[in-house]
Structure 1
Amino acid sequence: MNRTVLVTGGAKGIGYAISKLFSQNNYNVIINYLNSEKEALSLQSLLDKDGYTTMVYKADVRIREQVEEMIDKGISKFGSIDVVVNNAGISQQKLFTEIDENEWDNMINVHVKGMYNCCQCVLPYMIGRKQGKIINISSIWGITGGSCEVHYSTAKAAMIGFTKSLAKELGPSNIQVNCVAPGIIDTEMNGFLNDDEREVLIDDTPLLRFGKPEEIAYTVLYLASRQADFITGQVISPNGGYVI
C-alpha cells in the first residue's frame, strides 16, 4: 500500500514541488491550501492525469477544527497519514517598529500554531502505529535572523525549537521529526526582490544562484524515506553556502 503525505500550503512554490515529487514517488498526496484553490486544482488535475493519487483540501491551519477534519478525511480516504510536511507560510518585509499586532499574530499563527495544530491532530494516529515522519519547513532566517523580518524570523526560529523538542519526545515512539531551512529559493514568495537585491543575494551565495523549489523537495523526500529512519531532531539547510 502506498504511503500518504499531507503537505500544507501544497499548491504553490516549495509546497507545489513537494506535492509533485512525492506523487511521482508513489505517495498518496493530500494537497492542503487556503487561498490558492485554482493552483491546487490545477496541480491535482496534472497529477491525476499522470495516474497519481491526490486529494485537495481547503483548510486554514490556524483553525483547529479545520485541521482535525482534514486529517480525519485524509485517513478515511487513504487509510493512513505517514508523513506531515508543515510548509504553509507567509512572508513580509517590514521595519520592526511598524509591524502591527495583527501582522505579528498572523505570522506566528500561520507558522507556529499551524504546525502545532497539524502535529497534535495527527500524532495520536502515528503514536498508535509507532511510526511517522514530521518535516517542518523553516528558513535560514530562522537560523541567522533577517533584518526587517523580525516576525518572520521569530516564527521560523520557533519551528526549529519545536522540531528539536518534539523529536526528543517522540523518539521512543519511532517517529522522526526534522526541519528543512531553505536559503534563497526562486519562488513567487521572493518575487518582491528587485534586480539589484537579487544580484546582491546571488553574490553572497557561494554557488552563485538561487535554489530551486525541486531541490528543497528532494531534501524533504529523503527525510520522509525509510533511509532516513535514524535522522531526527536535525535542521538541514539547503542554501547554496549562504549560511555555513
Structure 2
Amino acid sequence: MSIKKTTLITGASGDIGKEIALQLASEGHQLWLHYHQNHAAIEKLKQQLTAEQVLGIIQADLSTPVGLDTFVQECPENISHYIHTSGQSYVGLFQDMSDAQMDQMLQLHVKAPWKIAQQLIPSMIQAKHGRIVLISSIWGEIGASCEVAYSSVKGAQNSFVKALAKELGPSQIYVNGVCPGLINTKMNHHLTEKDKQTLQEEIPLQRTGLPQDVAGAVGFLCQESTRYIQGEQIRVDGGWH
C-alpha cells in the first residue's frame, strides 16, 4: 500500500526550498508551500507544478512571534512530511549584533521549527508515520567566524534533530537534517567572485554546490528505502569539511 505524502515546506520561495518542492513533487508529494515576502517566486514555482501537486500556499513571517503564531494556526492537519528550509544569515562581527537581530535569528531558526513540529507531531503519531527534515548548515557543526549567531542557531537545529529523533523513533517518525556547505543561493551573494574562487579551491569537488544538490539529499531522506536512517545530518558540501 502506497503511503500518502502530504508535505509542508517552509521557505519554499527560496532557492533551496523551490528545488526541494520540485524534487518532492516529482516523487509523488502533494505540497503545502510557505513563503514570507517573495510572492513572485512562489507564483512562479506554482506555475511549474500541477494543480494537484499544490494543496495550498501560506504567507507568514516566521521570524516574529505574531507571524509564527499565525502560521501555526493556519497549519493544515495530517501533514506526513515537514521540510524546514526557512532561514537567513547574519554576516558581521558578533559584538555588533543587536538584541533585535539575535531575537530574530533565534525565532526563525530555533523557535519556528520547535512550534511547527509541536503542531504537526500529534497527527504523525496517530498515523504512526512521519518525516521531519531540517535544512541546517555545516557551520552548525564546525562554526564560522563572522557568522557566530548563524552557527549557533544551526547547531541548535542539529541538536534538536538528534534529540527529537530519539523521542519520536518509537512512533515511526523519522527526524533528520541536511547540512549544506557553499551553495549557489542568494544567501551567498555577498561573496565576491574572488572569494568564491578561493573557497572553491578548498572544496575537493572544486565547485559551488547547487540547490538541486540539497534537494537530492532531502528526496533521499524522504524515501521509504531510508527507513533506518534516524537522527542524522547529511553533509552536502563537496567534501569541504
TM-score (normalised: structure 2): 0.94
Separation in 1 of the partners of 2:182 and 2:91?
14
Looking at structure 1, the residues matched to 54 and 96 of structure 2 have their Cα atoms a distance apart, in angstroms, of 45
Q: 1:67: how far off?
A: 2.7
Secondary structure of 1:133's match?
A: strand
Structure 1 match to 2:95:
97
Asked whether 1:189 is paired with 2:193, we answer no
Which residue is equivalent to 2:11?
A: 9
1:56 alignment counterpart: 57
One-letter amino acid of the structure 2 residue matched with residue 236 of structure 1: I
Partner of 1:66: 70
Contact preservation (8 Å) 1:181, 1:238: yes
Name the structure 1 match of 2:204. 206
> Do structure 1's residue 44 and structure 2's residue 46 form an aligned pair?
yes
- Is 1:20 the counterpart of 2:25? The answer is no
Residues paired across the two proteins, number: 236
**Amino acid across the alignment from 1:57:** I
For residue 8 of structure 1, report the CA deviation from its aligned partner.
0.4
Q: Distance in 2 between matches of 1:194 and 1:208?
A: 17
CA distance in 2, matches of 1:124, 1:237: 29
Q: Which residue of 1 aligns with 2:79?
A: 81
Q: Distance in 2 between matches of 1:240 and 1:65?
A: 37
Task: Provide structure 2 residue ranges, at least 5 long, that are not aligned to the other structure.
Answer: none
Shift of residue 190, structure 1, vs aligned partner? 0.7
**Amino acid in the other structure paired with 2:214:** I
Partner residue of 2:175? 177
Alpha-carbon distance between aligned partners in 2 of 1:109 and 1:209, rounded to the nearest angstrom: 32
Q: Percent identity?
A: 33
Secondary structure of the residue aligned to 2:204 is coil
CA RMSD of aligned residues (A): 1.4
Structure 2 vs 1, CA of residues 69 and 161 (structure 1 numbering), >3 Å: closer, same or farther? same
Partners of 2:195 and 2:173 lie apart in 1 by 40
* 1:145 aligned residue: 143
C-alpha separation between the residues in 1 aligned to 2:110 and 2:37? 19
CA contact (8 A) 1:47 1:54 kept: no
Give deviations 1:33-61, integer Å, cap 9, x for gaps. 01111111121122137x63342211233
Whether the aligned pair in 2 keeps the contact of 1:61 and 1:118 (CA below 8 Å) is no
Alpha-carbon distance, 1:200 to partner:
1.1
Q: Is this contact kept in 1: 2:4–2:80, CA < 8 A? A: no
**2:150 alignment partner, SS class:** helix
TM-score (norm: length of structure 1): 0.93
SS at match of 1:48: coil
Q: After superposing the two structures, state which structure 1 stretch, 87-96 or 57-66, moved more.
A: 57-66
